[in-house]
Chains A and B, each alone.
Chain A
Amino acid sequence: MTFPIIRTLDRGASIFLVLLAAFTIAVPVLNLLVPATSSLHVSTYLIALFGKYVCYALLALSIDLIWGYAGILSLGHGAFFALGGYAMGMYLMRQIGTRGVYADPIRPDFMVFLNWPELPVYWWGFQSFPYAMVMVFLAPGLLAFVFGWFAFRSRVTGVYLSIITQALTFALMLGFFRNNFGFGGNNGLTDFKDILGFNIQATGTRNALFVISCIALGLGFLICRFIVTSKFGKVLIAIRDAESRTRFLGYRVESYKLFVFTLSACMAGVAGALYVPQVGIINPGEFAPANSIEAVIWVAVGGRGTLTGAVLGALVVNYGKTYFTTGMLAPYWLFVLGGMFVLVTLFLPRGIIGTLQHGLQARKLRSAAAAAEAGADLEPDPALLTPAIAPARPTPASRPAPATRPAE
């Protein structure tokens, strides 16, 4: 007899939301109200940087939802992120209007430059903000739906699916690099002026975008929490741990996967849409397979299947990246990143949060066992008995053959 909201918000989730709220309020306050001379002042540059991190965190959250809970490792989630970003970028391009270099009221500069006589059909409507927002959801969502429908229906799983998603984002990258695709080619979309009438460079706008990103992250977190704690989420976990068994129990595995994959793509799209006005550019480089894989490592570092871990991982890794790539250490960043991939998978398979949770659970279990031994007939909480993640090192005998797809 628990209400969904209580089930959704356990202690970890509540702590996370409180921290996020504090961050959301504190950063703009420190930027706007604390004078620039104070050591507590947060510069506008940092606001944009934090805003970027928060968007990455939302992307990581969307990956954790499918990887951590449904076992779908997408190496192409950057594609959905970039599509959302392009939808926002197209809106921002149309807002430039006559302020572009060629001062064309309708066509963006690159179309004038390429001698396109008129706006292509798929650019229609992007001058309207609501339409662009619909497209932010629709473009990645639709692609994920179609792609997922094909992939899950024919039971493409495991590394096959990962490779195909990687090919998907690679194909999109090649396409968007072309000028005749009509998305600005190599240079992408940039030189934005304003959003909803507000100057995109202004401090106020940057603060607002930061706050909105944080709210989006909070909402995304709540949605994910709600899903993974619901009965639907239990089925997802069942699919992750034993897909064929779940199917034999009568669940339509592909429908579950398709739903959660599409939802995750929409979340990634929103993250991309919030990212673009804060960094001021979207170009085909965002589709690069390396970006998508990097996003996966954020989740792995923080701890997959924990949601909060994904957010933490995105923040930690990206802070590390900023720290490394802006100083003398720039050439060594790839060593650090590569080492992170290897070391985390070898020594920290649960990630930071996952390891902490595991440790806490183990302690509780021990104390519960000690209490039971002492004679008290306390029953241990059954939830604590289920490990969060599959065991780290199965014995060689239990190693499955390459084929993971069940027989038909």
Chain B
Amino acid sequence: MMSHLYGRAVSFTCVAFVFAVGLLVAVATPVFAGPYEDALTGFTTDSFGDTDTAISGIAASGNPLAATVVEALRDGRLMFSAGGKTVFFKDKTEKLFDAATGQPAAVTPPDLAPVRLNNRLRRSVDAAIGGLTLLSPNSAIRLGAAQSVFRSRDATVLSVLDQAIAAEKEARIKRALTQARAAVILNQEDAKEADKIDAVAAIRERGDQDALQLLGSLPASSSATVKKAASDAIASMQSQLAIWTALQNTWYGLSLGSVLLLAAIGLAITFGVMGVINMAHGEMVMLGAYVTFIVQDLIRTHNPALFDYSLAMAIPLAFFITGAVGVGIERSVIRYLYGRPLETLLATWGISLILQQAIRTAFGPTNREVGSPSWMSGAFEVGQLTITYNRMWIIVFTFLVFIALLGLLRFTRMGLEMRAVTQNRQMAAAMGIKTARVDALTFGLGSGIAGIAGVALSQIDNVSPNLGQSYIIDSFMVVVFGGVGNLWGTLVGALSLGIANKFLEPFAGAVLAKIAILVIIILFIQKRPRGLFALKGRSVEA
């Protein structure tokens, strides 16, 4: 009760002082002692109790030096002279300043000693810093401080909070501050009931998980009306939250699904056209990621200004390099194994082992650092959805690749030939299509797309020789689920697996969700052994 009223009283004085005295203090020696100077003397008695009072006094004073002083105290840089009743702080370079004026100290008193702290005081110091940063000129820091007060619900900052709310101009931060204030009030035993009900309304507006948790854990002493208001707010928030959670899961699922699509689409093409399971597909993805690493490495050493374009450069490079590797594999190994899909599977597995080990020998087994260009880092919020730029661009990129592939298959001569070979190899050959050439190009195309996928995955995953291994089984599942010979099957397969995975995760945890998906696919393939979008008609017969 007392502290609250005291805080209020001080805060009124403060507002006056901030403008009248506070600014003056910085430039001139004060002619009269204000609350800040009064509080400072508390440090000179070398008693923990007095120090505590001094900390809250300083925090509440609103003096522009307050933050500096409290931070100095936290770092053990705050000194006092018991004889002269004066307090000093050192800056990072050990230079001594007078804490009352902020000016460099003229003389160094002989009995200078650091102000001591114990654990209880450290908590007060942290709380005070939390409160003081509420007044920071930097809006991001103010917002962060408001969030941290919302979580800590520390009653001592209430006065500063009021002051900050009054001074705040940005609506977004003002809302955060108001919500923080509401959180503090709700946890105060002695706040007025009307204030508390207002607070519940303010928190209800916030409407996220934190707010829900806050209202769910009201102090037991709260009155019945407050509890009623809180439970009403919880009910309305929960239904809203459920929608947001579903949206969030869908977004994560889309993001995972697009990654799966990117990894699986090349596999689907080679499997669809050639009936070849390429176990080295994951390694093509890995090669693409390493191409990105090399490109960024070269840019860093030669022309750092181009860093933002590194991905744009890496994409065609990765496509052609992995595509060339793919054509090489097809010409040297796979073409001798047509008609023996199981042997192809083993041979490509062998190739994947060799590629992995080659990369491990060349680049070492550890993760390589691949940076994100500036336009891919950061996030923005839509309602309660947090959308990171890299995920968003990957989704966009995936759909661009998908559309490009659709166009390639639909409108180009090569696409026409590929479709013909997929549907009926012998007839296509009889019509004069060079099926061997189509096979090589298809394998190159599939591998090249895997390389592009590697560029995208390097942005969200660790670039290590094992990168491909973590995607290969999932990609197979997508192909098995979606069916071959139709890119739409791969699209639907990848997105539905991604979304199903993310919706199962909250109930079952990430690992169990994955197991559940695998079991579901094993069961699904009972019903449709050739996937969702199977080719129909005579063409499926061998």
Contacts and interface: CB of A to CB of B under 8 A. Distances in A.
B429 to A, nearest CB: 8
A297 B346 CA distance: 8
Given A163-B476, A335-B357, A403-B530, A341 B346 contact: yes
Given A156-B525, A177-B511, A396-B436, A166 B473 contact: yes
Contact of A341 (B275, B341, B349, B523): B349
B271 interface: yes
B402 to A, nearest CB: 21
Interface string B40-84: 000000000000000000000000000000000000000000000
Contacts of B539: 401, 403
Interface stretch (B12-20, B110-118, B215-223, B331-339): B331-339
Contacts of A399: 338-339, 425
A175 B515 contact: yes
B342 interface: yes
Nearest to A300: B346
A175 B511 contact: yes
B343 interface: yes
Interface stretch (A56-64, A147-155, A308-316): A147-155
A317 to B, nearest CB: 12
Interface string A311-338: 0000000000000000000011011011
B438 interface: no
Interface residues of A, number: 58
A338 B357 contact: yes
B343 A166 contact: no
B541 A407 contact: yes
Contacts of B333: 342, 346
Contacts of A344: 346
B542 A401 contact: yes
A401 B540 contact: yes
A293 interface: yes
B342 A171 contact: no
A197 interface: no
Nearest to A175: B515
B342 A400 contact: no
Interface class of chain A by DSSP: helix
Contacts of A332: 357
A407 B534 CA distance: 13
B277 interface: yes
A164 B354 contact: no
Nearest to B279: A293
A63 to B, nearest CB: 12
Given A335-B354, A337-B350, A166 B341 contact: no
B407 interface: no
Interface in B504-542: 511-512, 514-515, 518-519, 521-523, 525-527, 529-530, 535, 539-542
Contacts of A99: none
Contacts of A159: 275, 277, 341-342, 345
A81 B469 CA distance: 22
B504 to A, nearest CB: 13
Interface string B360-394: 11000000000000000000000000000000000
B350 A403 contact: no
A334 B476 contact: no
Interface in B446-496: 473, 476-477, 480, 484-485
Contact of B346 (A156, A293, A398): A293
Contacts of B274: 402
A272 interface: no
Contacts of B344: 345
Contact of B339 (A151, A340, A400): A400
Given A174-B515, A331-B361, A345 B525 contact: no
B187 interface: no
Contacts of B429: 396-397
A171 B529 contact: no
Given A401-B541, A402-B271, A339 B354 contact: yes
Contact of A170 (B357, B422, B473, B512): B473
Contact of A402 (B275, B357, B519, B522): B275
A160 interface: yes
A164 B526 CA distance: 11
Most chain B CB within a 10 A radius of its CB, from A164, A296, A331, A341: A341
A346 B351 CA distance: 12
A158 B529 CA distance: 11
Interface string A12-27: 0000000000000000
Contact of B435 (A175, A337, A396): A396
A364 interface: no
B255 interface: no
B353 A154 contact: no
A7 interface: no
A404 interface: yes
Given A399-B425, A406-B541, A174 B514 contact: yes
A150 B522 contact: yes
Given A160-B525, A297-B346, A338 B353 contact: yes
Nearest to B336: A346
B526 A153 contact: yes
A366 interface: no
A163 B436 CA distance: 26
Nearest to A390: B340
A400 B343 contact: no
Contacts of A174: 511, 514-515
A162 B276 CA distance: 13
B483 to A, nearest CB: 11
A150 B473 CA distance: 20
Contacts of B350: 297, 337-342, 345
Contact of A164 (B336, B343, B522): B522
A73 B484 CA distance: 20
Most chain B CB within a 10 A radius of its CB, from A345, A406, A407: A345
A338 B351 contact: yes
A163 B277 contact: yes
A289 interface: yes
B272 interface: yes
Contact of B275 (A166, A293, A338, A401): A401
A345 B351 CA distance: 12
B535 A403 contact: yes
Contacts of B275: 159, 400-403
A221 B170 CA distance: 81
Contacts of A405: 529-530, 540
A291 B341 CA distance: 20
A335 to B, nearest CB: 5
A250 interface: no
B476 A166 contact: yes
A394 interface: yes
Contacts of B476: 163, 166-167
Interface in A349-408: 349, 393-394, 396-407
Contacts of B346: 293, 296-297, 300, 341, 344-345
Contacts of A160: 480, 525, 529-530
Interface string B230-244: 000000000000000
A242 B370 CA distance: 51
B442 to A, nearest CB: 12
Given A341-B353, A399-B425, A346 B347 contact: yes
A178 interface: yes
Nearest to B465: A334
Closest 9 CB pairs of A and B: A341-B350, A402-B275, A338-B353, A338-B354, A400-B542, A334-B357, A403-B540, A171-B518, A338-B350
Given A338-B352, A394-B339, A402-B273, 19 more contacts: A159-B341, A159-B345, A160-B530, A162-B277, A164-B480, A167-B476, A167-B522, A168-B522, A297-B350, A300-B346, A335-B354, A338-B354, A341-B351, A345-B344, A345-B347, A399-B425, A401-B540, A405-B529, A407-B541
